[in-house]
Structure formats: structure tokens, C-alpha cells
Amino acid sequence: MPPAVALARHFYETRREVLTLCGSTVTPWYRLAPDERTAAIAEAHIVLEALRRTDEEQQALQTAAATRPQDPAAQPPRNKTRPADVPTCGAPDTQRPSPQAPSVGHHGLR
């Protein structure tokens, strides 16, 4: 049995059971007229196509996410101050605060 026919039958019977619980009378799958069965199978093909497209979309999104370069805006900000124990490698030492610079506490300048 092709997947669409199996899906159509299971979907139709599940739908019928739910509608029966709600008080509706629906013809069982095995008693459907040929045109009703054809319509149910066509709907199953539509569902299968929707599932295929969903899978394709998810694969494309995963591929894009895996190959996309990191967004610099999404990165946490880097600390621009250099710790005291990092050598300057001959560059002028402009990153460290000077010892005479006032320190700012939570109450303002000290």
C-alpha cells in the first residue's frame, strides 16, 4: 500500500472517530464511494507534500545556521582594558588607567 493511501486511511478513520465522539455519523473507510476515497487520498498527498516541504525548509534553515558566519552584534562585548600582567609588546601603554586618574565610586569622585 503506498504511503499516501495508508495515511489517507488512518487520517480518515481518526477523523471519523473524533467526529463520532462529537455526535456526527461518518461513513467508515471501507464503505466509501470511489470518488470519496479518491478525495481522501488526494488530501493525503497534500499532507505528505506539506510534510516534505517542512522537512526541506528545516534542512535549509539548519544548513544556513551551520554555515552562517557569526554575527558580531550577537557576540558579547570584549573587554577593552588590558589586565596589568599582560605585556604591552612594545606598544605604548594607553589602555591602563594612570595612577593619578581619579577613581569613580558609587558615590561619585573620591
User: How confident is the model over 11-25, as pLDDT tens digits?
Assistant: 999 999 999 999 999
Q: Which of 48, 43, 63 is nearest to 3 (CA)?
A: 48
Q: Which residue has the higher pLDDT, 7 or 98?
A: 7
Say whether 8 sits in a helix, a strand or coil: helix
Asked whether residue 84 is assigned to any structural domain, the reply reads no
In a domain, 91, yes or no: no
Asked if the structure places residue 15 within a domain, the reply is: yes
Q: What is the pLDDT of residues 38-71, one digit of tens each?
A: 999 999 999 999 999 999 999 999 999 888 777 6
Q: Phi and psi (nearest 5°) for 108?
A: 105, -160
The parent domain of residue 51 ranges over: 3-66
Contact 44, 8 (CB under 8 A): yes
Is position 13 within any domain? yes
Q: Which residues have CB under 8 Å from 74's CB, separation 6+?
A: none
Q: How many domains does the chain have?
A: 1
